[in-house]
Amino acid sequence: MVKATLAIGMLLGAMAAIDAVATDFVISTNSTSLYGGSHGRNLLAQAGIGAIRSQYTYAGRNAGNVPGSYDRVTQLAGCVKQRVSVNNPVGPLSEEVSMVFRGPMDINNIAVYDGSSGTFTRVSSYSRYGGDPVNLTFMNNKNIDYSGQNRHGPQGFASADGVSKASSPTKFNGWLREATTPDAIGSGPGFQTGAEINIMSGRPCQWGDCAGFHTGNDYHGWDGGRKVFVTEVKMPWGGRPNQPAIWMLNAQVLRSNQYGCNCRGMGAVGGCGELDIAEVIETNHARNKVTTHYYFYDGSVLSPGGDNFANRPTDRTVTYVTIIDDRNGGLVKILELDSFDFSQTQLSSDVYAQLTGWGASPGPEKSS
């Protein structure tokens, strides 16, 4: 994983606790009192949305609302890069993104909603027990170029279990295994760590229409400053390292090399962007909580990190909703819900207002 080192992560958490602005950072944990009181509860229940158990918000500068830049990979051979500038209220998450999953994890449902037209409409979906995915492709990093010439990155179609590569788009079977040989340094996801997959849209890159380095192996992510990702998962106990995770990356990272030459950067220098949505981190020795962090640009904005902000769902599925919205100064928000109706093809404006907190009085929250 393109992750911050533990030392840097701990430092950022400590500094963020001191420097975060209250209006830019809000956390509400185990909040069964939903936005908008009884009206809000009824509204969400009617839409098939269960109780909000935990939530974490990045707003304003902490959502990426500052001018910034990163180094885009233009050629994989030699790792040639070009500086590009971004100025959007949600930072580089306004560009095409992918979502990455690491086991041990059950994944039952995924939905992606696009709000560029004003209404949040479902554009991609996956159901473990349903039919084929819609506009959603499962990928991993097993398509390795052994020529040594870096003609393409390691991104390719994932097998049904996510452990090996496939020759064509293949439906994921819903289970990401734990590491089988955690002491085998360098053996990679599925062996040293839990198996990993990432999702892209169903649209291949053509005629240079994907940003950054890409080849015929690569696919578009989900673009734009207004989008919602919804995932129903369970993180059962594993052996070692027992660190399941869900995180979001700029799609360019996957199209070049997630664990090599890419635009992400290292540690606090997030470059083209990484949002950790629900990750069991190494410093949580009990492995019983999930953490969120957002890294972008040169790291000068120390976005507060939510270490262990919510319980790890080991014995039941929960739904994580990840909201990215470039209005109202910028919002990046993660909610943990009891349930979600994945059959809905649109999110109504009233429901969306309840989830963002923009259209109702907020329930009990803690701020820093």
Q: pLDDT digit string (tens) for 87-128?
A: 999 999 999 999 999 999 999 999 999 999 999 999 999 999
Domain boundaries, position 357: 6-367
Tell me, yes or no, whether 177 lies in a domain.
Answer: yes
Asked whether residue 95 is assigned to any structural domain, the reply reads yes
Within a domain: residue 159? yes
Choice among 64-78, 138-152, 170-184 with the minimum mean pLDDT: 138-152
Work out the pLDDT band at 17, boundaries 50, 70, 90: very low
Inside any domain, residue 1: no
| pTM for the structure as a whole | 0.90
pLDDT at 9: 39
In DSSP terms, which residues pair with 50 in a beta bridge?
Answer: none
pLDDT digits (tens, 9 = 90+) for 263-288: 999 989 999 999 999 999 999 999 99
Name the domain count of the chain.
Answer: 1
Residue 134 is assigned to a structural domain of this protein: yes
Digit-coded pLDDT (tens) for 125-163: 999 999 999 999 999 999 988 887 888 999 999 999 999
Write the secondary structure of the chain as one string of H (helix), E (strand) and C (coil): CCCCCHHHHHHHHHHHHHHCCHHHEEEEECCCCCCCHHHHHHHHHHCCCCCEEEEEEEEHHHHCCCCEEEEEEEECCCCEEEEEEECCCCHHHHCCEEEEEECCEEEEEEEEEECCCCCEEEEEEEECCCCCCECCEEEECCCCCCCCCCCCCCCEEECCCCCCECCCCCCCCCEECCCCCCCCCCCCECCCECCEEEEECCCECCCCCCCCCCCCCCECCECCCEEEEEEEEECCCCCCCCCCEEEEEEHHHHHHCCCCCCCCCCCCCCEEEEEEEEECCCCCCCCCEEEEEEEEECCCCCCCCEEEEEECCCCCCEEEEEEEECCCCCEEEEEEECCCCCCCCEECHHHHHHHHCCCCCCCCCEEC
At 36 the pLDDT is 52
Q: Does the structure show a pLDDT above 60 at 16?
A: no
Side-chain-facing half-sphere of 336: CA atoms under 13 Å: 28
